[in-house]
Amino acid sequence: MNYIEGFRDPAVAKGIRSKVDALAGSLLARNRPVNIMEVCGSHTMAIARYGIRDILPSTVNLISGPGCPVCVTPTRYIDAAITLVERGIIVVTFGDMILVPGSASTLAECRARGGAVEVAYSPTRAIELAVANPDREVVFLAIGFETTTAPVISIVEHAIRLGLKNVSLLTAFKLVPPALTALLADPEIRIDAFLCPAHVSAIIGADAYKPFAETYKVPCVVAGFEPLDILYGVQGILEQMTQGKAEVVNQYARVVKAQGNLQAQALMAKYLEPVDAAWRGIGVLPKSGLGLRPEYAAYDAELKYGVTVELGAENPACACGEVLKGKQKPPECSLFGTACTPDHPVGPCMVSTEGTCSAYFKYLR
Amino acid sequence: MSEQFIQLGHGGGGLLSRDLIQREIVSRFGDGALKGLPDGATLPVPSSRLMVFTTDSFVVQPLEFPGGTIGDLAVHGTVNDLAVCGAIPRWLSLALILEEGLPFTTLRRVLDSVKRAADECGVSVVTGDTKVVERGQCDGMYVNTAGIGEHMDGFTLDPNRVVPGDHVLVSGPVGDHGMAVLAAREGIRITHGVSSDTGPVHRLVQAIREYAPDIKFMRDPTRGGLAAVLNEVVENRGMGILLNESDVPFSTGAKAAAELLGVDLLQVASEGRMILIGDAAISEVVLKAWRSLPEGREAARIGIVTETRGRVVLETITGGRRLVDVPRGELLPRIC
């Protein structure tokens, strides 16, 4: 089947819209809007790109949670990466990291000054560079949610197999479920349902959301990235709410399994262990990240080069923290669109094309 | 000739230079004004005609990509700039900056593609220059072309003439060139591969000459794509543009590559397409004329000029609307 057009059929979209309208109508008696949080940068982008907020009834709010791994990366992490570049180390990174502001500079500025910052589509680029430059040190910026963790950690597996000693990882891996727990526990945020991430769920499995449905009575629907996936996901959530249910429903079964990707999980468990992690804007959450196990310390750039990553100074006016938690919408931030734009981002939500502020600026301004 | 690679001496003005020019340039382009290699071309400009003059530099990587090379791109780029100014392209200059170590086989393929493209567009290469720089100072080769064309009567192109109600037309699928180059650069292989659309638009312009008075704006959407061009039209003007996503033509290969790389095709370069804004009354006849040519087969009406000040808005396939913004610059790969 055609995997692009099939999920973008205007006639089907119209059908789902009228169902969503009817369901939202029957929930009017609640006297407060339905707050649905999406926790996936690609959902945030697709919602903006297809104008989905524009067509939902005014009583259905889509709130963008901490779904972009670049956005939740702390300032000091960027500072540490810049320190490594300044020491002559080749730093390899996914593209959208290079514009993220550290406390004084960005990796893009660092590169313009002559620093070795390599933008890569694939983590294996770090291995290629380490092989091609035996007299140089290579560090991969190992950030991301469960989705990208396994491919990134395979750098260590390749390095061991090839006997490479000049490649290591600066880790800031994050885990989605602990962040959701923290959001549900925050009394200031009233989340009625989660539109669960697509790629992350492919790794951790739909069953990972069961505790939220059972303990917090919050409907969880796993949805894909296509506009129809998202509309259908909203419909699924509203159906559960009208029936007073709170279950995990996997609408993205073409990719996501209940148990997830066991091979990726095994690879992660072999090299990594849960650690407390700093989330930009949210703070330190217990066991919400992954770090290298002690036996692989030789591949840990933090230990190898004595750099430290911790929570650093942030612009006090920047509301990224509130935006990530879904407490504020981007235009409510005093910096939005003036001091903070995609060309001159202050906070990380404006940096990544998947960031909530960037998506608002780009599509909804 | 025994050399296989360009050496610094090929740009030194001595025997090697002369040999390179004779064998590679004069053999291909030496018939007309270039004959005898004068310092400049003397051209027969018709009196009482307006002439259009433009220039463009090409630094594309890789030098050869699916659908084209830096050579035909350099011809099409300049020919198209002349065409969308309402001119018939006549003459080109060709300046090459070569990197020491460039294989002669590559240079020959590129120059052959320049020749083929120039012949197809009916333009003559009448003057040029060749320099060689040390290894590492340029990426294989850079090309600059400048072009002169004869302005056609009847065209008064001016975005200030655009008014709400005018139609926005495009001559074919957009974004193929940018996606082909990006995919080639990243080594991404796609089953329904994406091929550059590099090609001339001068025939498309000549085919609609009789409707010139009602045509208000023409542009080839290169860097920044459709989004950059349309935003430029409405910027600081009391009007906007509403595009209908279902009507914008995209090729299957470009769509696949764009999905994979997380790129918005509205912001991606084409090198063989043109955008036209004109009176609603001529849109059907223009489309008919375009569709009768192979390069205009998939031409479409994609939008309408509105009264929404300064905004380009897209009505998406879900029925929702969103802003089509100016691209920021470097296309950065996303993490997921």
CB-based contact (8 Å) between A99 and chain B?
A: yes
Both tokens of B320, joined, read 């929702």
For residue A226, is it within any domain?
yes
pLDDT in tens, A182-206: 888 888 888 999 999 989 999 999 9
- Do A149 and A223 share a domain, yes or no? no
List, as ranges, residues 299-318 from B with C-beta within 8 Å of A.
314-318
pLDDT at B181 over 80: yes
Residue from A199, A125, A248 nearest A354 by CA: A199
Residue from B208, B3, B188, B37 nearest B108 by CA: B3
Using alpha carbons, list the distances in angstroms from residue B44 to A38, B54, B126, B152.
66, 18, 12, 17
For residue A269, is it within any domain?
no
If you compute the radius of gyration of chain A from its CA atoms, what whole number of angstroms results?
Answer: 21
Give the contacts of A161 (CB within 8 A, at least 6 positions apart): none
What is the pLDDT confidence band of residue A211, given thresholds at 50, 70 and 90? very high
pLDDT in tens, A212-227: 999 999 999 999 988 9
- Do A40 and A105 share a domain, yes or no? no
CATH of the domain at A145: 3.40.50.11740
CA-CA distance, B280 to B287, in Å (whole number)? 12
CB-based contact (8 Å) between A67 and chain B?
A: no
| Whether A91 contacts A139, CB under 8 Å | yes
Contact B321 A199 (CB under 8 A): no
φ/ψ (deg, to 5) at A363: -110, -25
- Rounded to the nearest 10 degrees, how much is the dihedral formed by the CA atoms of B41, B44, B48, B54? -40
- Using a CB-CB cut-off of 8 Å, the residues of chain A touching B186 are 121
Contact A4 B255 (CB under 8 A): yes
Residue from B218, B211, B210 nearest B158 by CA: B218
pLDDT in tens, B7-30: 998 988 888 899 999 999 999 998
pLDDT in tens, A294-321: 999 999 999 999 998 765 567 788 888 8
CA-CA distance, B282 to B14, in Å (whole number)? 57
CA-CA distance, B170 to B166, in Å (whole number)? 13
For residue A311, is it within any domain?
no
CB-based contact (8 Å) between A4 and chain B?
A: yes
- Do A49 and A89 share a domain, yes or no? no
Burial class (CB in 10 A: 0-12, 13-18, 19+), B336: buried
CA-CA distance, B72 to B197, in Å (whole number)? 11
- Do A217 and A290 share a domain, yes or no? no
Q: How many residues does chain A have?
A: 365
For residue A277, is it within any domain?
no
Which SS3 state, helix, strand or coil, does residue B207 take? helix
| B159-323 matches B8-38+48-151 in CATH topology | no
Both tokens of B39, joined, read 């310092």
CATH of the domain at A58: 3.40.50.11750
CA-CA distance, B243 to B248, in Å (whole number)? 8
- Using a CB-CB cut-off of 8 Å, the residues of chain B touching A53 are 320
For residue A278, is it within any domain?
no
- Using a CB-CB cut-off of 8 Å, the residues of chain B touching A50 are 316-318, 320, 322
- Using a CB-CB cut-off of 8 Å, the residues of chain B touching A148 are 335-336
| Whether B190 contacts B291, CB under 8 Å | no
For chain A, how long is the longest CA-to-CA vector? Answer: 69
Report pLDDT for A145.
94
Question: Which of A231, A250, A269 is the last residue in one of the domains?
Answer: A250
Peptide bond into A348 cis (omega under 30): no
* Domain that includes residue A231, residue range: 5-26+34-67+177-250
CB-based contact (8 Å) between B259 and chain A?
A: yes
Using alpha carbons, list the distances in angstroms from residue A168 to A100, A126, A127, A164.
21, 9, 10, 10
- Do A195 and A162 share a domain, yes or no? no
Name the residue in chain A with its Cα closest to that of B264.
A49
- Do A232 and A354 share a domain, yes or no? no
- Do A324 and A291 share a domain, yes or no? no
List, as ranges, residues 225-264 from A with C-beta within 8 Å of B.
227-228, 231
* DSSP state for residue B5 in the 8-state scheme: B
Please tell me which residue, B335 or B300, carries the higher pLDDT value: B300
What is the pLDDT confidence band of residue A28, given thresholds at 50, 70 and 90? confident
pLDDT in tens, B51-79: 999 999 999 999 999 999 999 999 999 99
Both tokens of B215, joined, read 């045509």
In CATH, what class is B159-323? Answer: alpha beta
List, as ranges, residues 199-228 from A with C-beta within 8 Å of B.
199, 227-228
CA-CA distance, A287 to B296, in Å (whole number)? 58
Strand arrangement of the beta sheet that strand A248-250 belongs to: A60-64, A34-38, A193-196, A220-222, A248-250
- Do A126 and A57 share a domain, yes or no? no
Tell which of A58, A70, A145, A362 to mutate to test the B interface (max B CBs under 10 Å): A362
Tell me what the mean pLDDT of segment B281-300 comes to: 98
- Using a CB-CB cut-off of 8 Å, the residues of chain A touching B256 are 4
* DSSP state for residue B124 in the 8-state scheme: E
Using alpha carbons, list the distances in angstroms from residue B194 to A194, B181, B273.
37, 9, 16
List, as ranges, residues 5-34 from A with C-beta within 8 Å of B.
8-10, 13-14, 17
What is the pLDDT confidence band of residue A48, given thresholds at 50, 70 and 90? confident
For residue A271, is it within any domain?
no
Contact A121 B262 (CB under 8 A): no
- Using a CB-CB cut-off of 8 Å, the residues of chain B touching A99 are 332
Tell me what the mean pLDDT of segment A279-303 comes to: 92
* DSSP state for residue B152 in the 8-state scheme: P
Report pLDDT for B172.
98
CA atoms within 13 A of residue B137's CA, in its CB half-sphere:
10
- Using a CB-CB cut-off of 8 Å, the residues of chain A touching B261 are 121
| Whether B80 contacts B200, CB under 8 Å | yes
pLDDT in tens, B232-266: 999 989 999 999 999 999 999 998 888 877 788 99
- Using a CB-CB cut-off of 8 Å, the residues of chain A touching B333 are 94-96, 119-121
pLDDT in tens, A230-276: 999 999 999 999 999 999 999 999 899 999 999 999 999 999 999 99
Both tokens of A78, joined, read 């960027």
- Check if the interface score ipTM surpasses 0.85: no
In chain A, how many domains are there? 3
Give the contacts of A25 (CB within 8 A, at least 6 positions apart): A57
- Do A51 and A199 share a domain, yes or no? yes
CA-CA distance, B239 to B237, in Å (whole number)? 6
Report pLDDT for B34.
83
Going by their DSSP bridges, the two strands A90-93 and A138-144 should be labelled as: parallel
Give the contacts of A260 (CB within 8 A, at least 6 positions apart): A201, A202, A203, A204, A205, A206, A207, A208
Contact B335 A8 (CB under 8 A): no
Q: What is the phi-psi region of residue B202: left when phi exceeds 0, alpha when psi lies from -120 to 50, beta otherwise?
A: alpha
Contact A49 B322 (CB under 8 A): yes
Contact B321 A99 (CB under 8 A): no
Both tokens of B163, joined, read 């008014």
Tell me what the mean pLDDT of segment B179-197 comes to: 82
- Do A193 and A230 share a domain, yes or no? yes
Contact A69 B318 (CB under 8 A): no
- Using a CB-CB cut-off of 8 Å, the residues of chain B touching A140 are none
Among B256, B318, B332, beta carbon nearest to A119 = B332
Name the residue in chain B with its Cα closest to that of A17.
B318
For residue A108, is it within any domain?
yes
- Using a CB-CB cut-off of 8 Å, the residues of chain B touching A92 are none
Burial class (CB in 10 A: 0-12, 13-18, 19+), A334: exposed
CATH of domain B8-38+48-151: 3.30.1330.10
Among A51, A95, A143, beta carbon nearest to B334 = A95
CA distance A299 to chain B (A): 22
Domain residue limits, chain B? 8-38+48-151, 159-323
Secondary structure string (H, E, C) spanning chain A: CCCCHHHCCHHHHHHHHHHHHHHHHHCHHHCCCEEEEECCHHHHHHHHHCCHHHHCCCCEEEEECCCCCCCCCCHHHHHHHHHHHHCCCEEEECHHHHHCCCCCCCHHHHHHCCCCEEECCCCHHHHHHHHHCCCCCEEEEEEECHHHHHHHHHHHHHHHHHCCCCEEEEEEEECHHHHHHHHHHCCCCCCCEEEECHHHHHHHCHHHHHHHHHHHCCCEEECCCCHHHHHHHHHHHHHHHHCCCCCEEECCCCCCCCCCCHHHHHHHHHHEEEEEEEECCCEEEEEEEEEECHHHHHHEHHHHHCCCCCCCCCCCCCCHHHHHCCCCCHHHCCCECCCECCCCCCCHHHHCCCCHHHHHHHHCC
- Do A81 and A160 share a domain, yes or no? yes
Query: At what angle are helices A41-49 and A356-363 packed, to 10 degrees?
Result: 10
